[in-house]
Amino acid sequence: MAGVPLVLENKVALITGGSRGIGAETVRLFTEAGARVAFSYRQARERAETLVLDCGGPSRCVAIEQDLANPADGRALVAAAVHAFERLDILVVNHGIWPSDDVPIAEMTDAQWRGTMGVNLDSVFGLVQAAVAQMDRQGQPSTADEAAGHIVLISSTAGQRGEAYHADYAVTKGAMISLTKSLSTELAPRGIRVNCVAPGWVTTEMSAAALGHPELGPKISAGIPVGRAGSPREIAGPVLFLCTPLAGFISGEVLNVNGGAVLVG
């Protein structure tokens, strides 16, 4: 018996922060589903080049070196992706920074605050602005139930319940949720579906120090009903689903992928 396909044939996706962790798994899964994928990286050139080869080479997957620190950077990345594949059907905003040191709000520097805002929020404005303009230029789909485009923003449990000593990060991830709801209302009538995935703790390089800490690690696991952190592929799967026709009636949703740790939308 044939399975239910999650396919993205003839679609072009741009995935930010795609050289490692959740981003890399999303790149792999999207190419497996038939999409052509452009992804951004900042420093990990060797990893990015290896990932391109693993995903079928430059006819199927391209890596774009691009800082994402302001709106202009975001617009430049979209332009580069469109130049590579001549259209854009899907934008997955996955990149972001999480300053690992605990910093009380009374001691947080302007530079840290602005740096986190620039990468995690300001660049997202440019990405979304340019992606929506491109999707609009491509025109409406031939049928009413077909999406003109998909945007998936990656938030975090920190955006839902806050995170002490990491207010800068939590603020930006809360903004992803608000932006999802605002854009959904604005863009759904134009055929563009906007949704959000909010992961909890995931085993990536960014979280390795905390999850591997002899005292903190067990406390983190104890706070997750499933009893463990997630894998990058367990986040990439829901992102893929939201960009398929099976999710065509979903817009403005915050999909929690956190092992039951936070039960809010």
Q: What is the full per-residue pLDDT of the chain (265 aa) written as tens digits?
A: 467 778 999 999 999 999 999 999 999 999 999 999 999 999 999 999 999 999 999 999 999 999 999 999 999 999 999 999 999 999 999 999 988 889 999 999 999 999 999 999 999 999 999 999 999 999 887 777 789 999 999 999 899 989 999 999 999 999 999 999 999 999 999 999 999 999 988 877 777 777 777 877 787 787 788 988 889 999 999 999 999 999 999 999 999 999 888 765 4
The whole-angstrom separation of Cα 226 and Cα 259 is 5
C-alpha R_g of the chain: 18
> 12-204+231-257, superfamily in CATH?
NAD(P)-binding Rossmann-like Domain (3.40.50.720)
Look at residue 263 in the predicted model and tell me its pLDDT: 67
The pLDDT, as a whole number, for residue 213 is 77
**Known catalytic residues?**
169
Q: Where are the alpha helices (DSSP H) in 33-138?
A: 45-54, 71-85, 110-117, 123-137
Q: What is the pTM of this model?
A: 0.93
Residue with tokens 């979209």: 78
Check the CA dihedral 202-207-209-215 and report its sign. negative
Question: What's the pLDDT at 204?
Answer: 74
* pLDDT for position 224: 85
How close are the terminal C-alpha atoms of the chain, in Å?
36
> What's the pLDDT at 264?
57
> pLDDT for 53-107, tens place per residue?
999 999 999 999 999 999 999 999 999 999 999 999 999 999 999 888 899 999 9
Q: Which residue, chain included where needed, has tokens 């960014």?
A: 206
Q: What is the pLDDT of residue 223?
A: 79
| Pick from 95, 127, 120: nearest CA to 26 | 95
For the chain, the domains span: 12-204+231-257
